[in-house]
Amino acid sequence: MSPSAGTLEAVRRDFVANVSHELRTPVGALALLGEALSGETDPIVVSRLAKRITAEADRAARMIEDLLDLSSIEAGGPMNRRRVSVGAVVSAAVERAQPSATLRSVRLVVSAPSLHEAFVEGDEAQLVSAVANLVDNAAKYSHLDSAVDVSVDIKETDVEISVRDCGIGIPRDDLERIFERIYRVARARSRDTGGTGLGLSIVRHIATNHSGAVSVDSSEGQGSTSTLRLPMAGVEPNR
């Protein structure tokens, strides 16, 4: 086995081990909550346990959906490419991320392009997924009762979709690794937010599929700004 093949196999083993660990948490919680619920008669306690069961089931479902999305994107399956309105993508993404924001009393504030409507060539479903992951991530790591700003800017031949929060931020040393599958800055963050650790990896793959790029600028304790850059439809790159 060549070194590159050995490295790939090691990455796969680590990924499977991490996914198994992450799924074990909600599945184990479901078992414990179900056991507690089976002998409970107090309506208030039953209601509380039922809500916890629903939350853990949703957490497991989100991870499975993210795994399926990531697997499909990495496999390079067919893309439904067409001319897509960036405004429509952002609106759909914000709507998808709204429940997560509402849970933390986070306001989602959208700024439309200042001059004209922007369009890109791509798979609308993938693009909505990418932006929704960025907005959802920002909302989850924002402080309660704060705001997440989503803006769209035209930069010559590119469109930049930026998502800015004033949350807990990311240490500089971790910025290079946050796009890895399952990587997290701290395990406590995932326990607090219920994230799967796959969102930014999905965004990176979607950006690559669309000849774009994604970046994150952040300072610990001072919030983060994630930017998805995509080539505008029908515009020749000037570089």
Catalytic positions are 21
Distance (Å, rounded) from C-alpha 64 to C-alpha 189? 19
Say which residues have a Cβ less than 8 Å from residue 11's Cβ, sequence separation at least 6. none
**What DSSP designation does 185 have?**
S
Distance (Å, rounded) from C-alpha 111 to C-alpha 206? 23
Q: Is 138 exposed, middle or buried (0-12, 13-18, 19+ CB in 10 A)?
A: buried
The number of CA neighbours under 13 Å toward the Cβ of 183 is 15
How is residue 51 written in tokens?
């809500």
Helix (H, G, I), strand (E, B) or coil at 206: helix
Say which residues have a Cβ less than 8 Å from residue 96's Cβ, sequence separation at least 6. 128, 132, 135, 136
